[in-house]
Amino acid sequence: MLIRPKTGILDPQGEAVQASLATLGFPVTSARVGRLVDLEVATDDVQAARVEVERMCAELLANPLIESFEIVAEEP
Amino acid sequence: MLIRPKTGILDPQGEAVQASLATLGFPVTSARVGRLVDLEVATDDVQAARVEVERMCAELLANPLIESFEIVAEEP
């Protein structure tokens, strides 16, 4: 799953990345840093797994106040 | 871009996530935690932008010894 700081939420890590890239001469207009969590769930039911992963995100892995998340399912 | 710990590299953050999810009763067999960096590059040439972003990754954003990265291009 992909976890990003919501639009409008301050992202000091992203600002540092953008400033460093600019110093090195890379023409980047914006940088935002988020988290990536790869989970393996043992199931045959992709739909049910997606619902479970959504609960994991909302309850543990993301902070819904300041972060948005996106779930990308990949079958083995 | 998506930055992941390479296979075989210890990922204590991922292990903590997996242990916490297991404690909460979620049947996750593996969890790996990486970073997600969204960059905006002002250019019309997607191919050239991809080459630039690859350089940024290799030189600044990822540690090629222990991390692998994947670039996903999105047009506005």
CA distance B69 to B35: 9
pLDDT tens-digit profile, chain B (76 residues): 999 999 999 999 999 999 999 999 998 999 999 999 999 998 888 888 899 999 999 888 999 999 999 999 887 7
Per residue in A3-30, pLDDT tens? 999 999 999 999 999 999 999 999 899 9
The pairing of strands B28-41 and B2-5 is antiparallel
**First and final C-alpha spacing in chain A:** 16
Interface of A with B (CB under 8 A): 2-4, 14, 17, 20-21, 24, 26-43, 52, 55-56, 59-61
Evaluate whether ipTM surpasses 0.90. no
C-alpha closest to that of B41 among B55, B31, B28, B23? B55
- CB-side exposure of A48: number of CA atoms within 13 Å? 7
Beta carbons of A29 and B41 less than 8 Å apart: yes
Contact, A30 vs B39, CB < 8 A? yes
Show residues of chain A in contact with B24, CB under 8 Å.
Answer: 56, 59-60
Give CA angle at A16 (A11, A22), nearest 5°.
Answer: 125
